[in-house]
Structure 1
Amino acid sequence: MPNLAASLIAPDETPPQRSRAVASGLAGLSIESRPLAACAAIEAEWRDLAARAIEPNPFFEPDFALSAAQHLIDFRGTTVLLLWDGAATSRRLLGFVPARLQRRLLGHDVLIGWSNSRLGLAAPLIDTEQAERIIAALLHAPGRWGLASTQNLQLHRLDLDGPLLDGMLRVAELTGHAAALEPAPTPTASTGGPKLAALRHGLSRHGKLAFAESRSRQELRDMVELHLALEASGSLGRAGGAALQDIRESAFLRAMTRNLARSHRCRVGLLSLDDAPVASAILIGKGPRLWLYRGVEDDRFASFAPLAQLVAWLGRRSRQREIIGELPGPHLVTVPQRLGDIRLTVTATAIRRAPLVIRRRAAAA
């Protein structure tokens, strides 16, 4: 059952002066803790928030996240903090933050944003116009609902060039929190080696080449099955790590791609040689930014870089399309995303400054 927290301040509490100031600055906000799978009940509000999030993240939208919660064990224990504004009858969802609470015997607890290797991005969904207010709420949330001593916040796999990180750094400066940023190393591709055009010419000597991209949901379903079969036939399948060999993983992949395709947020590309697939790529996202979620190529033709050829072709299909991902080899056909972790830590300055700053922002709103 969801943990329905009525407000930031429990009605039978008499908060100290600092807590009263923080609560007044965050007036109207309520925070609810709910299992990820139970968020299906607020799918409409969730989708509405995703459409106006300061940083779009398809991995935390219903089509991906609910499929993961249904099929993958890793996602079943995920807890989401939902930040609502307004009365219960007309409330509006302003924040969707998958996170867990790390309790400490001494000092303040730490609220840690949830991440997973399947996520190309782990930025929570936060309303564009209320971003700093929501971040402040996560840092200063008095009450009995589980975060009474939480003034430390840590988020993983954020876009280092994205607006959410900028907002967090502004809140840290205004509230006096210490901000520690740990950028992940930017992957670098090797240089040299044959050009893709020369490799494509070499591959064409083995048969007729054909590129294709899913144009309908039926085509996407068929291409996903070809992707699974190609992956299972190669070295990953021989090692027992192919999705088709894991009933949960394959069920998730089928459900996730099918659900995302309804809103045109998933597409599959295939490179075939004499009608037999030699490379497949699953892309997630919509508009100019897409993530290469999964890619596979036929080991027998790996020297011709068929996957890189396919991704390069998919990128050329639209001049506005930017494909984010990591591919081995010398061919720069994807855009590496600069990801990192940030931690906001409470300081003596933060304790003195937070009430004033948050109260000032509330008055400005």
Structure 2
Amino acid sequence: MAKAGCDLTQREGDARGVRDHGGRAMEEEGTMDRDDMMPAEGDAPLAAPVAISALEPLLMTPMEAVEEAGAWAELAEQAMEPNPFFRPEFLLSYLHHVESEPITIAAVRRRGGGGLAGLMPLGRKPLGLAWKTPHVWTHAYAPLGTPLLCADCAQAAAEKLLRVVMSHVGTFLAMPQQRLDGAVAAAFRDAAAAARLKLDDTAHYERPVLSLEGTMEAFLQRISGQRRRRYAKGYRRLKEQGHLVRDHLSGAQAVEAFEAFLELEQSGWKGESATALASNPYHAAFAREAVQEFAASGKLLVDRLRLDERTIAAVVAFRDGPRVYEWKIAFDEEQASQSPGVQVVLAAMEKYFAIDGLLEVDSLSGQAPSLIDGMWKDREIFGTMLIAGGRGAGARMAMAHADIAAYETARRSAKGVLSRLGKRRKG
């Protein structure tokens, strides 16, 4: 049941509007009785609107969303689950400098001049092998798709977001990179059930996280003695090479250190493959702007190792609410045998354990192996939530799963071919 501030107060048929990209008024959920929104026999119907909450839906272009930046930032601070990548200082920087695809910002606002109660960016991209569908917008620089929801009316805000998407964006929505056991995922499940939408999840994977209960010393005692000795040996060998310093930086110092991070990342394999941030001037401009914005609000954390004044490893992280998100890591690949990447993560962990109010660190790692895997034993399950409504909802959900399965089959086949080619070359 919706909490105070989101009470059901009027009939849905009452006059009101959704702001479209040009600021024009559109009929809101009343459009959901169109023929293409009607359920086929046996499908879960898209709910006929019955009542409106105290929430007003918005569909905005990024330029229009700038006008809501203050309310947007306030929502991000109060969000039931934080997501630094959906904060205005990060997302607007990315959209301004990098993104060429049209992106829509879906939001809900409290009526009567209140603040925002929910927000998520939307775009279109292939779901699997071929089908291009509306998506909650995530990408390589933002591997977390948790929408921003106010805790006091999370289900009502999630339902309003889903209704406006189903009415005006498309009758199928993919929500990738969701923490499937999180409070926001639960709010969207409840909202989908209330709106009589079909919901499923797929593409599950486990992501390493670090629980900050206890102390750094207690954490080290939980890992094997062999691993502790290996960590100590790597650190000792680095110290033998010269003057080794561990820096914990924030604010302007962290911004300055970020420039050294960019150079370090560019010097390695990412630079050779043109995937480093500095390989693309637009990507570098976005990153610098986002980092400066986070530093100004106290959300930027940079840890680095310096050997004789030269940076040999760095971790760039964002703090948002009770969590830290380790965004980027780079290290001197000539020192790889001493594991400088592991050493700088260990240094950062000491700081995380010492900061009051932090509960967890998200590694942001995907399904590919990473240096964090062996260090952090806790795991959270992430995946993609699929939501379908209207006529043919069941058929679209089945098509979605088939498209994803086709992509996975093609990916495994391509991987097998590359593996066989590699073995032939070695032979």
- State how far apart, in whole Å, the 1-side matches of 2:97 and 2:317 are: 20
The aligned counterpart of 2:177 is 157
- State how far apart, in whole Å, the 2-side matches of 1:330 and 1:136 are: 36
The range that moved more, 339-348 or 115-124, is: 339-348
Assess, with a 3 A threshold, how the Cα gap between structure 1 residues 25 and 142 changes in structure 2: closer, same or farther. Answer: farther
User: For structure 1, which runs of at least 5 residues remain unmatched after alignment?
Assistant: 103-108, 352-365
- State how far apart, in whole Å, the 2-side matches of 1:94 and 1:308 are: 39
- State how far apart, in whole Å, the 1-side matches of 2:338 and 2:319 are: 28
Q: Over residues 205-260 of structure 1, what are the superposed CA-to-partner deviations in whole Å (9 max), with x where a residue is unaligned?
A: 2222110021431x122201111111122232233332222111111111110001
Assess, with a 3 A threshold, how the Cα gap between structure 1 residues 273 and 169 changes in structure 2: closer, same or farther. Answer: same
Assess, with a 3 A threshold, how the Cα gap between structure 1 residues 304 and 101 changes in structure 2: closer, same or farther. Answer: closer
Identity of aligned residues (%): 20
**1:100 to partner: Cα distance:** 3.8
Contact 2:250-2:300 at 8 Å conserved across structures? no
- 1:142-221 equivalences in 2 (<5 Å): 146-147=168-169, 150-186=170-206, 195-217=230-252, 219-221=253-255
Assess, with a 3 A threshold, how the Cα gap between structure 1 residues 335 and 282 changes in structure 2: closer, same or farther. Answer: farther
Q: Over residues 85-127 of structure 1, what are the superposed CA-to-partner deviations in whole Å (9 max), with x where a residue is unaligned?
A: 314xx2432221212479xxxxxx9753222121131111122
- State how far apart, in whole Å, the 2-side matches of 1:278 and 1:10 are: 55
Contact 1:3-1:32 at 8 Å conserved across structures? no
Contact 1:183-1:338 at 8 Å conserved across structures? no
The aligned counterpart of 2:314 is 280
Is 1:342 matched with 2:388? no
In the comparison of the two structures, how many residue pairs are matched?
336
Contact 1:5-1:30 at 8 Å conserved across structures? no
Is 1:310 matched with 2:344? yes
SS at match of 1:264: coil
Contact 1:9-1:142 at 8 Å conserved across structures? no
- State how far apart, in whole Å, the 2-side matches of 1:142 and 1:252 are: 28
**1:179 to partner: Cα distance:** 2.4
User: For structure 2, which runs of at least 5 residues remain unmatched after alignment?
Assistant: 1-19, 39-44, 126-131, 210-223, 395-427
- State how far apart, in whole Å, the 2-side matches of 1:54 and 1:345 are: 24
- 1:1-365 equivalences in 2 (<5 Å): 2-4=21-23, 6=25, 8-9=27-28, 22-74=48-100, 77-87=102-112, 90-100=113-123, 111-141=134-164, 146-147=168-169, 150-186=170-206, 195-217=230-252, 219-319=253-353, 320=358, 322-325=360-363, 326=365, 327-328=370-371, 331-333=374-376, 337-346=380-389
**1:62 to partner: Cα distance:** 1.1
Contact 2:21-2:60 at 8 Å conserved across structures? yes
SS at match of 1:195: helix
Q: Over residues 287-315 of structure 1, what are the superposed CA-to-partner deviations in whole Å (9 max), with x where a residue is unaligned?
A: 54111111000011111111111111111
SS at match of 1:140: helix
The range that moved more, 200-209 or 237-246, is: 237-246
Calculate the TM-score normalised by the size of structure 1.
Answer: 0.79
**1:265 to partner: Cα distance:** 1.0
- State how far apart, in whole Å, the 2-side matches of 1:235 and 1:154 are: 32
Contact 2:62-2:104 at 8 Å conserved across structures? yes
Contact 1:226-1:277 at 8 Å conserved across structures? yes
Contact 1:269-1:282 at 8 Å conserved across structures? yes
Residue identity in the other structure for 1:129: D
- State how far apart, in whole Å, the 2-side matches of 1:14 and 1:119 are: 32
The range that moved more, 152-161 or 242-251, is: 152-161
Calculate the TM-score normalised by the size of structure 2.
Answer: 0.69
The range that moved more, 127-136 or 52-61, is: 127-136
Assess, with a 3 A threshold, how the Cα gap between structure 1 residues 248 and 111 changes in structure 2: closer, same or farther. Answer: closer
Contact 2:208-2:373 at 8 Å conserved across structures? no
| Alignment RMSD | 3.6
SS at match of 1:212: strand
